[in-house]
């Protein structure tokens, strides 16, 4: 019996760290992103986007997050016989903290809080001439997600965030849904 326990312990210790549910030192997450902006009761979808995040573990469950993303929408229309393209772009740069539960070797749920900047650009192109404006405002964005192991150092994940952008005289909401792959490096 003692021999079986020693063999089982030796096998467990030779497994990769995060298979046992241990904390990776660094994670890099690359995602597809879709955003819905909610301004003055009106919603505008921005279905094409990207998101990248780096997570650096500070403790076994707490990490520092650096997050950047962009979402886009372009519409073509006609007004009094003149064609035009309207483009809306949102880019975010944020940082914050993430609490992750690495107790399960296959599934890692997490919750995070981010704060940073939202840069919103609106432009219109008519007859080859383009006119637009960009505003940069402070934002906060809490979110939740779950990652599922797909390989020795990779996971597939989904996340849902809801943020508030504090613009000049108005606060608007940002609902972000994203999914992608996370690569894990090292062991804490």
Instruction: For strands 26-39 and 48-57, give the pairing.
Output: antiparallel
pLDDT higher than 50, residue 9: no
Range of the domain at 100: 2-185
pLDDT higher than 60, residue 20: no
What does the pLDDT average to over 7-33?
A: 67
Distance separating the N- and C-terminal Cα atoms of the chain: 32
Print burial letters for 39-49: b (CB count within 10 Å at least 16), e (below 16): eeeeeeebeeb
Q: How many domains does the chain have?
A: 1
Least confident of 37-41, 137-141, 164-168: 37-41
Residue 88, helix vs strand vs coil? strand
Q: pLDDT band at 5, cuts 50/70/90? A: very low
pTM for this entry: 0.81
* pLDDT more than 90, % of the chain: 66
Q: What is the pLDDT of residues 40-97, one digit of tens each?
A: 888 999 999 999 999 999 999 999 999 999 999 988 887 777 888 889 999 999 999 9
pLDDT higher than 70, residue 12: no
* CA distances for 81 relative to 74, 86, 126, 127, 131, angstroms: 19, 16, 11, 11, 19
Q: What CATH number corresponds to the domain at position 129?
A: 2.40.160.20
How far apart CA 45 and CA 38 sit, in angstroms, is 9
Quick one: DSSP state of residue 170? -
Mean per-residue pLDDT of the chain: 88
């Amino acid at each position: 019996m003692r021999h079986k326990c020693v063999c089982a312990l030796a096998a467990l210790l030779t497994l990769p760290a995060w298979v046992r549910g241990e904390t990776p030192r660094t994670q890099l997450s690359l995602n597809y992103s879709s955003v819905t902006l909610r301004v003055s009761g009106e919603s505008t979808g921005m279905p094409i986007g990207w998101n990248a995040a780096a997570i650096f573990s500070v403790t076994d469950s707490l990490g520092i997050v650096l997050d950047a993303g962009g979402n886009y929408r372009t519409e073509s229309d006609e007004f009094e016989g003149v064609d035009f393209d309207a483009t809306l772009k949102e880019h975010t740069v944020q940082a914050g903290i993430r609490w992750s539960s690495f107790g399960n070797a296959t599934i890692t749920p997490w919750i995070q809080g981010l704060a940073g900047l939202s840069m919103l650009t609106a432009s219109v192109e008519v007859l080859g001439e383009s006119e637009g404006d960009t505003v940069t405002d402070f934002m906060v964005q809490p979110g939740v997600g779950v990652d599922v192991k797909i390989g020795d150092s990779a996971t597939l994940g989904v996340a849902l965030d809801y943020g508030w952008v504090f613009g000049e005289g108005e606060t608007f909401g940002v609902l972000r849904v994203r999914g992608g792959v996370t690569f894990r490096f090292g062991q804490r």
